[in-house]
Structure 1
């Protein structure tokens, strides 16, 4: 995610802050975000290397990563593949969506930027004070 670190905030001409998820699709495409795919339904036995090998038939794979559970170290069953171009990513979506990989049907779509809260999430401050105690 470090490659997108500089994209989190932009400013328009009036100086107003613009969040990444509000940017036009052309800018996202130019920054390479549109060439990143989300793959769901992966077998727990699929590896980063295996994912890269399967998806390399559609173009140059820059990165293939399966998301792992921190506690158990097991796959969460989904991952991401990043291509060198948007065209290669589109070919992979049409070629792999609904196909079987390691015994499981996988679902492939273009990755979307993370959605952020519009406001701040509530802060937990513990139980309220009993009546009469300040």
Structure 2
């Protein structure tokens, strides 16, 4: 399952996210979205967890919790809508 995480601290890195989410199961990948010009974090990321039950548990238990001093928003990623 692909998980969307927002309101992330700018100093957080992919390893931090992997460690934080791996308490709930296997993390296949953790990708923090960055600005293509400044290479700075945009404050959100996508976490891929192969086991849907583990991913759902992570979503339920981590949504609204503090990570690096910020209350994070965690939910299932939705497909990107076409921009027209």
> Shorter-chain TM-score: what band?
over 0.9
CA distance in 1, matches of 2:39, 2:69: 21
Q: Is 1:91–2:30 an aligned residue pair?
A: no
Q: Is 1:112–2:78 an aligned residue pair?
A: yes
CA distance in 2, matches of 1:114, 1:74: 22
Q: Is 1:40–2:6 an aligned residue pair?
A: yes
Larger radius of gyration: 1
Larger strand fraction of residues? 2
Show structure 1 runs of 5+ residues with no match: 1-34, 122-134
Secondary structure of the residue aligned to 1:42 is coil
Residue matched to 1:75? 41
Q: Which has the higher contact order (CA 8 A, sep 6+)?
A: 2
CA distance in 2, matches of 1:116, 1:71: 23
CA distance in 1, matches of 2:80, 2:39: 23
Moved segments of 4+, more than 3 Å: none
Q: Give aligned pairs, total.
A: 84
Secondary structure of the residue aligned to 2:39 is coil
TM-score relative to the length of structure 1: 0.61
Secondary structure of the residue aligned to 1:87 is helix
Instruction: Please tell me the root mean square deviation across aligned C-alpha atoms, in Å.
Output: 0.9
